[in-house]
Amino acid sequence: MTIPALCLVLSAQFTAYESRDGNPFSVPGKERGFAFDLRVEAAAARSHPWLFISKHEIEKAREAGRHALAGEFSRLIRDAETALGATTAAPDERWYDAVKGKPFDATYPDVYARTAREPAAAWRSALTLARAWALGGRAEFLAPVVAQLRAWASYRFAVEHYDAGLNYAVWVVMALECCDLVFDELGRDDRAALAGFFGRALGAVLRNDCFWLEYDIGGGLNNHLAWHRYAAGAIGLFWGETAVVDFARNGARSLSELAERGLRDRGLWLEGSIPYHLTAQYPIIAALRLYRRAGLDLPPLAGGRSFRDFYRGLAHVVFPDLTLPPLGDAYGLRTHLPDAAAWHIAAELWPDGLAAYMLSRRTKADPWAALASPPPSASPEPPVLASELLTEHGYAILRVPEGPPSAAQAMVFATYDADGVHSNADKLSFMLFAGGRLWLEDREAATGAVHSFSADVQRTLNRHTICHNTLLVDWQAQRGTGEKLDLVGFRRGESFAHVTLADLRGRLYAGVRQMRSIVLMPDACLDILTVAADRSATFIVPLHVAGEFASPALQWRDAALPEGRPWSWLARPRKVERAGTLRFSFAAG
């Protein structure tokens, strides 16, 4: 059978802005009538919890700011001066009356903007001011923090949505830390009002958590649940509510259960996206820190798992420049692993060489963490990057040579994984890093939409097979699969690494079997794709090269693509037609 084939080589930068219409499939969750008042009278008389930082730690941070870390202290003060005027009164919540009852998918942008982005920005500024006041004592930093706590004390937490619990959790913990830092400056009435505020926050987060568990959203294991338990546990510890603390530690989807069931392959989170590991990592590690500070700990994990795996897992999969492979939903972003927020906490909980190494490679300043966290007690120790199979997920990593991260290393990251909530139609795809840069990449469009996850470009383009380096059949995206594909072979040697992956039963495309062998060598990468079909089909092989064309003059002509999404996202498609072998060359920069 003669089967037409086409190879697409794409190197353009996608940009897009579009939000999708509502989807009637999703409907608002029912009201559960959950209420929690945190025993307001007892809370009003509560002594300073000192949950996030102690008096002694503040004194040590002040001393460091006067001497060894004077530069970090100056940066914190500058950040606080910038934040002056950025604090806000609680937003008007009447906007929700106009959208309440609409399908959740139709309200993603509004809900994200009003319950996540805007409040988080306000509390991020307030927290910077509170921290600067705690170390510097300037009254001009204290006053707006107290004013914001008072202004938000009547906030209702009324929104019902998939994301409401997570959205609230992120900034409520910031507000709680603000309350901790300025606690002694608050009167009894202030504390009673804030106990009501945090009680309503707790009720909203746990009500949303019930919704997630009742409807098994996200497969029952999801980063949202980690954030719910972080916020609930922090509120319970701060206000002395032991029942809430016990729920977060030992209840359904406790942090221990999430780690036991959610980690794979020495510490990778299960949602189908490498960058999303960080979204689950931070709340779990941050919660563990608060429990230890309160003299508690979390139950040990079963099945050979460890909370320590949560911060070590990503170190096995980084590119040699320490960026994360943008596998799955990454929203067009590239993440430098040492800049992740949890490294200072990890160094405090598990002071080892890996945490010290990652902190030594940071490119983003975090003056508060530098001042308030204990300095790493271990010498920096880089991870050893090796070729390996991550069989629980379905990933294959090839590295030549193996060893600590270096510009001389080449790496292939290939996937044969099952679908996850944040995975893409990218099976049997691979990315190639060589010569100090990513040459073959998963290409995602950066969106200008308010909410990236629900944006039309994410749904119709970024998750489509066209954005990945794998076979496209009849211009259609791969079908979803709830199981891993076939691992045929894996070998590693001193100067090579090899993997063969396959779909031998036509799970991605009906009637189409395919096998891909990739061999990585010090100066070359050989990719052999073999395809067989029991029907007439058109094969397209997209390759997303992160470089500029450097080939001799080629005769480019306009090309026609199918109508509709995702093809309408692609501007000015062109083609080259030539019989026989066609060689493309690319150059960096």
User: Does residue 556 belong to any structural domain of this protein?
Assistant: no
Mean pLDDT score across all residues of the chain: 90
Q: Do 107 and 151 lie in a common domain?
A: yes
Instruction: Give domain status of residue 146, yes or no.
Output: yes
Does residue 365 sit in the same domain as residue 443?
no
Report the candidate in 576, 397, 447, 457 with the shortest Cα–Cα distance to residue 8: 576
User: Cα torsion for 336, 338, 343, 347, to the nearest 10°?
Assistant: 160
State whether 374 and 393 are in the same domain.
Answer: no
Domain boundary among 202, 220, 238: 220
| Closest alpha carbon to 114 in 95, 101, 127 | 95
Counting the structural domains of the chain, the total is 3
What digits encode the pLDDT tens for the residues 294-304? 999 887 887 78
pLDDT greater than 70 at residue 243: yes
Q: Is residue 533 part of a domain?
A: yes
Query: Is the pLDDT reported for residue 17 higher than 60?
Result: no
Of residues 290, 42, 295, the one with CA closest to residue 173: 290
Last residue of a domain, one of 383, 418, 445: 383
Residue 588 pLDDT: 77
Residue 110 Cα to chain centre, angstroms: 21
Kindly state whether residue 89 falls inside one of the protein's structural domains.
yes
pLDDT of residue 36: 56
352 and 408 belong to one structural domain:
no
Establish if 305 belongs to a structural domain: yes
One domain for residues 346 and 446: no
Q: Shortest CA distance to 381 belongs to which of 397, 362, 360, 401?
A: 360
**The pLDDT of residue 300:** 80
- Residue 190 and residue 66 in one domain: yes
79, 180: one domain: yes
Query: 24 in a domain, yes or no?
Result: no
Give the pLDDT band (50/70/90) at residue 586.
confident
Cα–Cα distances (Å) from 185 to 77, 147, 178, in that order, read: 20, 11, 11
Q: Is the pLDDT of residue 361 over 50?
A: yes
Find how far residue 390's CA is from the centre of its chain.
20
- What proportion of the chain, given as a percentage, has pLDDT over 70? 93
Query: What are the pLDDT digits (tens) for 76-111?
Result: 999 999 999 887 888 889 999 999 989 998 999 999
**Is 379 part of any domain?**
yes
Residues 377 and 403 in one domain: no
Same domain, 423 and 491: yes
User: What's the confidence (pLDDT) of residue 216?
Assistant: 87
Average pLDDT over residues 412-420: 96
Task: Check whether residue 396 and residue 371 sit in a common domain.
Answer: no
Q: What is the pLDDT of residue 44?
A: 74
Within this chain, do residues 411 and 492 fall inside the same structural domain, yes or no? yes
Residue among 423, 390, 418 at smallest CA distance from 508: 418
Residue 88 belongs to domain spanning: 50-220
Which pLDDT score, from 0 to 100, does residue 78 have?
98
Work out the angle at residue 249's Cα, subtended by the Cα atoms of residues 124 and 119, and round it to the nearest 5 degrees.
20
571, part of any domain: no
343 and 483 fall within a common domain: no
The last residue of one of the domains, among 339, 367, 383, is 383
Dihedral (CA of 123, 124, 125, 127) sign? positive
Task: Indicate whether 10 pLDDT > 60.
Answer: no
pLDDT at 387 (0 to 100): 98
pLDDT tens digits, 103-123 = 998 999 999 999 999 999 999
Task: Report yes or no: 159 and 96 within 8 Å, Cβ to Cβ.
Answer: yes
